């Protein structure tokens, strides 16, 4: 019988999130056999720093290695589609970072390729796997709030507040035409669709670029870096800093979300509230061990993450006893555990709680509607076949 420790995995990219992937894989007992970086030199340095046995010189070399059964793609967005395509064609399971691709045409192609391959396909919308979001999803989808009516919230960060803040995500050819919406809004949209069990049907979106020219450092900078470079060149920015979006969900629920990478003091606050006809739930990623449950006729509840008090889905995602706070990096262990159950079985299971390529593609279609709505100034339906 195959076990998780029999599986060999390679990681592409070892920046902010590739490092989190590597650490989480090791924590759940998967063997990380090597990594691929943008150059062999950087790869060797990062492999030594992370204690990995191998730095591949190219994707071809990685895919020639029979020890690799799964590949995690944590490179910048523009590389996801070409790399995933080659990985699937070489017969390996794939875990791809969000967004799945740069366009919905590309993501549709990857959905079809993955389906034809029979391999496990996952997009890393890890925020689903905070234990209390798993608990909330089972609660809401099981009718625990009554009929879902209103879904509201925000995703705010401040790391791009100044014109001296720089990252590859700012440029459309590397990050995609949508930036705040594609980079962080996609997490909110995926999460609220997951929790409610309802997809977004139509949007009315307003996108704003408050900083139209930024000072790009002439040397590379790390994601979330707040250091000021001295050597810079002015670059026009065409991707949005801020988005406000009205939403219509399947089943008639309404919603609204504000997304910003310029909100001073908000480091990484994804917050949502789902109001039903009987009760409500609310959660904020800056206090991830607390789920607020609102009632009209009795006192409200504050559920602290605790395997002894959550439903089965919440318990399955939890690692630690109540009172021992679980955070961002822990969600990677939880989502990878679910994904690697399928890898061990050799194929995707029927009712997957982790985001699939189909979910990643659906997010791209919602993004297309957001873009069209902001350009035309009207409601746009999400174009699903
Ligand atoms: N799920 C999440 O919560 C989450 C959080 C952050 C980032 N992400 C996603 O992860 C991806 C990476 O983001 P990041 O913040 O880690 O960026 P980053 O810039 O910190 O890291 C990207 C890494 O990819 C490497 N790279 C560049 N070109 C490469 C190539 N041709 N081959 C191999 N490696 C290459 C870079 O050298 C760097 O180490 C993005 O798609 C982003 O949207 C997801």
pLDDT of residue 198: 98
pLDDT of residue 219: 78
pLDDT of residue 221: 74
pLDDT of residue 83: 98
pTM metric for this prediction: 0.96
Return the DSSP state at 375.
H
Angle between helices 104-117 and 80-89 (to 10 degrees): 20
pLDDT of residue 376: 98
Q: Rounded to an integer, what distance in angstroms lies between the CA atom of residue 227 and that of residue 262?
A: 16
pLDDT of residue 344: 98
CA of 194 to the centre of ligand 1 (A): 24
Return the DSSP state at 287.
S
State the closest ligand 1 atom to the C-alpha of 75, by its place in the atom list counted from 1: 24
pLDDT of residue 33: 98
Who lines ligand 1 at CB under 6 A? 12-18, 36-38, 42, 74-77, 79, 97-98, 124, 126, 183, 223
Mutational test site, ligand 1, from 18, 73, 334, max ligand atoms within 8 Å of CB: 18
Q: Whose CA is closest to atom 32 on ligand 1?
A: 38
Q: Rounded to an integer, what distance in angstroms lies between the CA atom of residue 65 and that of residue 68?
A: 6
- Which of 379, 12, 23 shows the shortest CA–CA distance to 202? 379
C-alpha dist (Å) from residue 29 to 5, 156, 249, 281, 295: 5, 34, 39, 34, 42
Mutational test site, ligand 1, from 13, 20, 58, 327, max ligand atoms within 8 Å of CB: 13
pLDDT of residue 230: 76
Q: What is the mean pLDDT of each run of 10 residues along the chain (385 residues)?
A: 94 98 98 98 98 98 98 98 98 98 98 98 98 98 97 98 95 95 98 98 98 91 72 95 98 98 98 98 97 98 98 97 96 98 97 97 98 98 95
State the DSSP H helix or E strand holding residue 304, giving kind and residue range, or none if neither: strand 301-304
State the closest ligand 1 atom to the C-alpha of 20, by its place in the atom list counted from 1: 16
CA of 12 to the centre of ligand 1 (A): 8
């Amino acid at each position: 019988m195959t076990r998780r420790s029999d599986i060999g995995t390679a990681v592409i990219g070892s920046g902010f999130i590739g490092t989190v992937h590597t650490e989480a894989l090791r924590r759940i007992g998967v063997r990380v056999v090597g990594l691929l970086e943008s150059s062999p030199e950087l790869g060797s340095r990062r492999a030594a720093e992370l204690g990995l046995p191998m730095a591949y010189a190219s994707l071809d070399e990685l895919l020639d290695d029979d020890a690799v059964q799964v590949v995690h793609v944590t490179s910048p967005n523009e590389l996801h589609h070409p790399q995933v395509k080659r990985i699937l064609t070489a017969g390996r399971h794939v875990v791809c970072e969000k967004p799945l691709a740069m366009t919905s045409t590309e993501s549709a192609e990857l959905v079809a390729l993955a389906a034809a391959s029979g391999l496990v396909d996952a997009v890393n919308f890890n925020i689903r796997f905070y234990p209390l979001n798993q608990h909330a999803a089972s609660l809401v989808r099981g009718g625990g709030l009554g009929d879902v009516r209103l879904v509201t919230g925000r995703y705010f960060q401040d790391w791009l507040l100044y014109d001296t803040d720089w990252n590859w995500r700012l440029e459309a050819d590397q990050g995609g035409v949508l930036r705040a919406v594609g980079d962080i809004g996609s997490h909110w949209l995926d999460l609220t669709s997951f929790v409610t069990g309802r997809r977004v049907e139509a949007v009315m979106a307003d996108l704003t670029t408050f900083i139209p020219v930024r000072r790009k450092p002439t040397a590379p900078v790390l994601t979330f870096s707040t250091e000021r470079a001295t050597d810079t060149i002015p670059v026009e920015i065409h991707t949005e800093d801020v988005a406000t979006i009205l939403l219509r969900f399947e089943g008639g629920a309404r919603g609204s979300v504000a997304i910003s990478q310029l909100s001073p003091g908000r480091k990484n606050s994804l917050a949502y509230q789902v109001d039903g006809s009987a009760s409500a739930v609310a959660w904020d990623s800056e206090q991830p061990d607390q789920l607020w449950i609102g009632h009209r006729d009795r006192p409200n509840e504050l559920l602290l993450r605790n395997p002894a008090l959550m439903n089965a889905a919440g318990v399955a995602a939890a690692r630690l006893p109540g009172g021992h706070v679980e955070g961002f990096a822990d969600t990677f262990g939880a989502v990878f555990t679910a994904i690697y159950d399928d890898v061990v079985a050799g194929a995707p299971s029927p009712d997957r709680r982790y985001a699939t390529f189909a979910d990643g593609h659906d997010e791209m279609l919602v993004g297309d509607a957001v873009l069209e709505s902001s350009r035309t100034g009207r409601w746009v339906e999400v174009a699903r076949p």
